[in-house]
Amino acid sequence: MVEGEVVQGSPWMWVMLAVLGALVALSGVGLLFSGWSQIAVWGFVLVESPFVASVILMTVGILLASLGGYKVKEGTRLILGSDRLQLVTARGRVLTQIPYRNISAAKLVDVQMEMGIVVKRIHIDVHDANDPETVIEHASIFREAHGCDCMIDPPEFVLGADQLHERIQSHLQKFLAR
């Protein structure tokens, strides 16, 4: 793990997932004790046995809440070092590491999501994906799905997309000016 400017990860997305999971699990418990013999809408029977539906809701809710809790605890942060950027977990595990010398472009792009929603992401292209100091999990998936070697999703961090992109560009320019 390198020394440098630390951009903390934002736990709110994962906290909301944990809360949603808890609500889904509680709705399963409520359904279990509702005493209903079946669930029907406009005469169309959706579920013959609410017991099965409640067990499914409780299981899915517990899994969602567990995943959210794990992600909050695990937490990630982006470290903008003097010669590289790293995405690191709270326990110090390096998920992504890219030396600035290997970055060919760091672009702020608009990505069209479902239902026409546009979000800003940072796409990073590298000169050599096989560089021994470069660690990018699933680089081939990024290249195929997003057209870049690495993607930084700003909603996962406390800074906005524009600010995060400016900080990355600033560190990249400082390195190149040496």
Give tens-digit pLDDT for 1-57. Answer: 788 888 888 788 889 999 999 999 999 999 888 877 777 788 887 777 788 889 999
Rounded to 10°, the helix 12-32/50-74 angle is: 160
Three-class secondary structure of residue 98 per DSSP: strand
Helix (H) or strand (E) holding 6: strand 4-8
Give tens-digit pLDDT for 93-102. Answer: 888 999 999 9
55 vs 18, 29, 47, 154, 169, CA distance in Å?
18, 8, 13, 36, 50
Residue at 41: amino acid letter? V
- The pLDDT of 167-178, averaged and rounded, is 91
